[in-house]
Structure 1
Amino acid sequence: MASSSHNDVEGDIDEAFDDYFDQYFDQAFENLVDAYGDQQDGEKTRKKRVFIERNREEGHRRLWNDYFSETPTYEENLFRRRFRMSRPLFMHIVTRLSNEVEFFRQKKDVTGRSGLSALQKCTAAIRVLAYGSALDAVDEYIRLAATTARLCVENFVEGIIQLFGDEYLRRPTPADLQRLLYIGEHRGFPGMIGSIDCMHWEWKNCPGAWKGQFSRGSDKPTIVLESIASYDLWIWHAFFGSPGTFNDINVLDRSPVFDDIIYGRAPQVNFSVNGNPYSMAYYLTDGIYPKLSTFIQSILLPQGPKAALFAQFQEATRKDVERAFGVLQARFAIVKNPAR
């Protein structure tokens, strides 16, 4: 009798559980279908973008008449101010990119209508780099969308590195080294080939999970840039610090600046100071850098006229790299503004 009652109770529990499970499963399935249907509808809605007739041909004609025609609206001084370079140099870049980079070649669609010209694409990239503005800020004038402007900037930078990197983004050749040594000796520092320093670039859109490791005692995360610059503002070494809290000192642990010396590829440099021979070139630095034979620092508390004169000349000469940072930020505001 007890066994029969026990079986009845178990049967009721099983039946109740089955009813609950069926109801829960049906509701869950219905929610899943609704959510999936909404997602599909949302995707369809997102794909149905509103077409904007930007009249890109008129944008090209306006750009040509303003800057590139025989009688342009804006003269050379305004062109240099807005494009950060001379008109012949910009046209040389546009010609190389349009001939050798597929993205910048003007194409036609299936209706035979011409696409954006190389001038429009390069001008959009330069405006974003020069003014540090939002990608859609060039839409009204150059007549292209923000997504296209982003592609212009990415392909422009990659194209510049591909076409001109071997000539400008390189380490000094033996001829360059001799020129740097000659200028260094003329300025009172024989054996000096440049000055080294770091710049911190604020990272506006740094992920919250990474913010702590990129912040250095402040609320603003930054990315460190180590550079070596010569007297003529030529930055021939640039290295962005890896993820983590880096400063001018510990970024040297990962920087390739001393790779040539470590692997024996550094060119031989022979000079003498006060009758003492030396065979290794050096850089001018500020006081935060470690005491290495390749770093020449100022004298913190100079004693006597000679030490004071050396400190004065050293601090003035090592400003080359800081001046290069200043010119770089003044010409290209994208480096000055927080990185997005």
Structure 2
Amino acid sequence: MRYDARGKRGFTGLQKCVAAIKLMAMGESPDSVDDYMRMSERTARENLYLLARGVVETFSDQYLRKPSLHDMQQLSAAREERHGFPGMLGSIDCTHWKWRNCLVAWKGQVVGSNNDVNVLDQSLIFDDLLSGKAPDAPFTVNGNEYKFGYYLRDGIHPQYSTFVKAFRHPIDPRDKYFKRRQEGVRKDVERAFGVLKSKWHIVEHAARPYELDTL
């Protein structure tokens, strides 16, 4: 909280946080805060960026890092206990956030498609699994031992060994059961993104920043 050249006191830290969270929760443009808090568009936008940057700097070491071997083993054990899939690291699904101000020269080159930004982005673990550099997380299925974990996907993605897809047209009862369980697990991830968009409407609307680093 500072004083300007007129000696007028500025907004408190709590007011700035409220403005930033309001923009994220409502998905409104920064100039909408002027009617509610008498805060300028520039101040509201800067508060939003500062809050987001502060969250990243505070929690990145714990939540935005590459999982260790111990983390992968814990993930695999939790997935097996809850869903019955040994060795599964998770279910990869994604949602796209449209970038309204994407540069024409960058169209199709940004992660995602056209002028969209993939919210999930590419997992560092997934990249290591494709290149065979991931830590060994062995598991056994039907008497066969496997070295690396895997992810559940739907049928439209490439045929990678790290993907386990459901049967397209199952006939055997076991295949039908597997398809039902596999699709049920993937629904959990889709619901998670649904909750994300319902709580933070900023993801439902086109992203307004001009710089990719800000996004």
Same fold by TM (over 0.5)? yes
After TM superposition, the structure 1 = structure 2 runs for residues 115-264 of structure 1, keeping only pairs within 5 Å, are: 115-186=10-81, 187-207=83-103, 209-210=104-105, 213=108, 222-225=115-118, 227=120, 238-239=121-122, 256-261=124-129, 262=131, 264=133
Instruction: Report SS of the residue matched to 2:94.
Output: strand
Question: Hey, what's the Cα distance between the residues in 2 that align with 1:200 and 1:260?
Answer: 23
After TM superposition, the structure 1 = structure 2 runs for residues 36-75 of structure 1, keeping only pairs within 5 Å, are: none
Query: Bigger CA drift: 115-124 or 196-205?
Result: 196-205
**Unpaired runs of 5+ in structure 2?**
209-215
Matched-pair contact (CA < 8 Å) for 1:269–1:279: yes
Matched-pair contact (CA < 8 Å) for 1:200–1:222: no
Query: How high is the sequence identity, in percent, across the aligned residues?
Result: 44
Aligned length: 203
Post-superposition offset of 1:142:
2.3
Matched-pair contact (CA < 8 Å) for 1:198–1:224: no
Task: Give the TM-score taking structure 1 as reference length.
Answer: 0.54
Q: Deviations over 1:309-339 (max 9, x none)?
A: 0000001101232122111111111101122
Post-superposition offset of 1:121:
0.8
Which is richer in helix? Answer: 1
Question: Hey, what's the Cα distance between the residues in 2 that align with 1:305 and 1:330?
Answer: 37
Post-superposition offset of 1:178:
2.6
Relative to 1, partners in 2 of residues 1:213 and 1:270: Cα closer, same or farther, differing over 3 Å? closer
CA RMSD of aligned residues (A): 2.4
Higher relative contact order by CA 8 Å / sep ≥ 6: 1 or 2? Answer: 2
Matched-pair contact (CA < 8 Å) for 1:197–1:226: no
Post-superposition offset of 1:111:
5.6
Amino acid at match of 2:65: R
- Detail structure 1 runs of 4+ shifted over 6 Å in the superposition: none
Question: Hey, what's the Cα distance between the residues in 1 that align with 2:116 and 2:46?
Answer: 23
Matched-pair contact (CA < 8 Å) for 1:199–1:325: yes
Instruction: Report SS of the residue matched to 2:154.
Output: coil
Q: Which residue pairs with 2:169 in the alignment?
A: 301
Task: Give the TM-score taking structure 2 as reference length.
Answer: 0.83
Larger radius of gyration: 1
Matched-pair contact (CA < 8 Å) for 1:271–1:278: yes
Instruction: Report SS of the residue matched to 2:116.
Output: strand
- Paired residue for 2:195, among 327, 331, 334? 327
Question: Hey, what's the Cα distance between the residues in 2 that align with 1:328 and 1:171?
Answer: 22
Matched-pair contact (CA < 8 Å) for 2:34–2:41: yes
**Unpaired runs of 5+ in structure 1?**
1-105, 215-219, 228-237, 240-254
Question: Hey, what's the Cα distance between the residues in 2 that align with 1:328 and 1:114?
Answer: 36
